[in-house]
């Protein structure tokens, strides 16, 4: 196989994987967003918004596949900024819910978290199988891994909401999801800058 043919094969695999991961994240936006509104859960709504920003990142990554390194760095940098903005938005929503009150349903939180965790684990596995992971693909993998961690937090929060009969675990996890997102965004931007320095 020539270098051109090998490059085309890798690019095709990247595109195919990103389309699958994008579709799975859009599914999670609908499921988690609907469940979050229905169950009055800050943590689920935070995760749904996180997946919505992820979908934007995967779309940017798809756009960058096969393009120059500058495009890929730009896609990764934009992804990092999106993630930080999402995190700040979730912090604001969690503070609003703390002040105005909420009544999360723990069982719904746990069921949806298990479903979302399985989907995000599949995304991490799919992205991990890619060859030649460039900066925009590393950003996509960071997003999926962060989501998987967040799902575990929602699962624990749902159990605590049921056990304690209190709403604070939901608010704490919503805030933690936001902080994980902000840290992930900073890491992605740093990775994009280091890639530029190495070029």
Report pLDDT digits (tens) over 36-65.
989 988 888 888 877 887 787 777 777 766
Helix (H) or strand (E) holding 68: none
Query: Which one is predicted more confidently, 91 or 69?
Result: 91
Calpha distance 61→55 (Å, rounded) = 10
Mean pLDDT value of segment 154-172:
93
pLDDT in tens, 175-188: 888 887 788 788 87
Helix (H, G, I), strand (E, B) or coil at 40: coil
Q: In Å, how far are 23, 52, 186 from 58, measured between CA atoms?
A: 10, 10, 17
Q: What is the pTM of this model?
A: 0.75
């Amino acid at each position: 196989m020539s270098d051109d043919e090998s490059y085309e094969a890798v690019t095709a695999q990247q595109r195919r994987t990103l389309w699958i991961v994008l579709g799975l994240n859009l599914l999670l936006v609908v499921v988690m967003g609907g469940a979050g509104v229905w169950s009055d859960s800050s943590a689920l709504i935070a995760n749904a918004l996180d997946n919505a920003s992820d979908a934007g990142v995967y779309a940017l990554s798809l756009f960058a596949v096969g393009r120059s390194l500058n495009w890929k760095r730009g896609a990764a940098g934009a992804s990092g900024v999106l993630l930080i903005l999402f995190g700040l938005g979730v912090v604001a929503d969690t503070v609003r819910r703390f002040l105005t009150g909420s009544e999360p349903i723990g069982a719904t939180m746990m069921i949806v978290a298990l479903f979302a965790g399985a989907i995000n684990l599949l995304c991490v596995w799919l992205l991990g199988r890619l060859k030649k992971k460039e900066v925009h693909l590393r950003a996509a993998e960071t997003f999926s891994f962060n989501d998987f961690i967040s799902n575990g937090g929602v699962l624990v929060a749902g159990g605590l909401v049921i056990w304690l009969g209190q709403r604070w675990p939901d608010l704490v996890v919503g805030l933690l999801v936001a902080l994980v997102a902000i840290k992930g965004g900073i890491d992605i931007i740093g990775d994009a800058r280091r890639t530029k320095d190495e070029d």
